[in-house]
Amino acid sequence: MTTVHETSTFNAEASMNLWLQTGLADITKPAWLPAYTIALNMPQGGITPPCFSVIHLPVSRRSRWQGDNVGNGKTGRRAASLMDVSIWVSRQNAAYMAQAMAMTAMLEGVVMGTQTVPFYDYWSNPAVPVLTAYKIVLGDMNIAETETDPNPDIYRRRVLIRYDWTVRSNQ
Amino acid sequence: MVNNEIFVHAEGALRFVQASASGGGASGARVWATASAPVSGTLAYVESFSFTSGQTIQTIMDRGVPTHHKVTQHDAIQVTFNCLYTGDFMAPVSASGATVPMWHLEFEANDAGNGNTGRYVRFHGVAVQSMQFTENPQGDTLALTCVALGMLGPTGTGYLG
């Protein structure tokens, strides 16, 4: 009987979501910035501006090591993904640009303060994930250009955060 | 042994076991004698591995004409590998006194095209000559240069694999 290893992509994405939510919540928001929402299930769940939305874009699972040996009897590869965070604001608010820039700065602050994100095991218990001994390493943060949204009310900024980790074979 | 397919990096494995300091009597540590309750394992995150064996050949002349060779010396085997630093890298051995801490190493090339067997090369009495640490964005590396007293292989069976 095998189970999926703690470093699975499932746990990686969930742990990154937890990190971002916790990091944003730790920031003391200025009074002029309205309460924001975080959408982790876009586009199915929709957005309510001002909003952070998160999706993950797996990039590669590179074979880098002799026999893919990664220790503790496991084989694995080096994984890279992009955390695609979009910031959505409504032009109905006169200060929509200030909102977008402030939310970008919040995101920037969270990323700049983090080098590694610990893995939480959601496979065993999604409600109360368990901290593991594995980690994700954060890489570059880039601001990506976006097309004008088809909804004229919406202004969007898009940020891509690269992250790497070692994904391992099943237990 | 059939030998129709190439071997690649992804099929390899490098394993170690603590060597006996005294080895096998008159033959020194050139034989596969392990330490008491030896620590063994597979080296992880190995990015490159190589070995070089050599011997000195003396060509014998007969009235100025080369007629045959003689092996006058077997060189020590140079073994090098680079791996990522994980913080729990094994010291070769913890032998004390005048003995030199040593590993035995075993390289396995998985021979999946031949009934999932393997090709093994064993290195006996391996001492670490140098260990170079480098910090890198994609993983800190250790570059090890080792010297072995002798080697055996390739063979169809392994001790560690």
- For residue A167, the distance in angstroms to the closest alpha carbon of chain B comes to 13
Q: What is the 3-state secondary structure (H, E, C) of B59-107?
A: EEEECCEEEEEEEEEECCEEEEEEEECCCCCCCCCCCCCCCCCCEEEEE
pLDDT reported for residue B28? 63
B133 at interface of A, judged by CB pairs closer than 8 A: no
pLDDT tens digit string along A120-130? 999 988 999 99
Note if the bond before A43 is cis, omega within 30 degrees: yes
- C-alpha span between A38 and A85 (Å, rounded): 10
Mean pLDDT of B97-119: 83
Nearest to B125 by CA among B91, B157, B77: B77
Mean pLDDT of B91-118: 78
pLDDT band at A69 (very low <50, low <70, confident <90, very high): very high
Is A70–B13 a contact, with Cβ atoms under 8 angstroms apart? no
Count the alpha carbons within 13 Å of B3 in the hemisphere toward its beta carbon: 6
pLDDT tens digit string along A15-51? 999 999 999 999 999 999 999 999 998 778 788 999 9
Mean pLDDT of A82-90: 96
Task: Closest CB to B13: pick one of A64, A67, A164.
Answer: A67
Alpha-carbon radius of gyration of chain B: 18
- ipTM, two decimals: 0.85
pLDDT reported for residue B112? 79
DSSP-derived pairing of the beta strands A130-144 and A116-121: antiparallel
A70 at interface of B, judged by CB pairs closer than 8 A: yes
Nearest to B108 by CA among B161, B42, B39: B161
pLDDT reported for residue B98? 60
Q: Measured between beta carbons, which residues in chain B are less than 8 angstroms from residue A68?
A: 10
- C-alpha span between B72 and B78 (Å, rounded): 19
Q: Measured between beta carbons, which residues in chain B are less than 8 angstroms from residue A78?
A: 138
Task: Closest CB to B45: pick one of A63, A70, A164.
Answer: A70
C-beta atoms surrounding A124 within 10 Å:
14
Predicted TM-score (pTM) of this structure? 0.87
Task: Closest CB to B14: pick one of A64, A66, A164.
Answer: A66
Highest mean pLDDT among A53-62, B116-125, B132-141: A53-62
- C-alpha span between B3 and A161 (Å, rounded): 47
Is A69–B11 a contact, with Cβ atoms under 8 angstroms apart? no
User: What three-state secondary structure class fits A62?
Assistant: strand
Is A66–B138 a contact, with Cβ atoms under 8 angstroms apart? no
A100 at interface of B, judged by CB pairs closer than 8 A: no
pLDDT reported for residue A117? 98
User: What three-state secondary structure class fits A9?
Assistant: helix
pLDDT tens digit string along B49-91? 999 999 999 999 999 999 999 999 999 999 999 999 987 766 6
pLDDT tens digit string along B19-41? 887 655 555 667 888 888 888 88
Nearest CA in chain A to B42: A71
Q: Measured between beta carbons, which residues in chain A are less than 8 angstroms from residue B43?
A: 66, 69
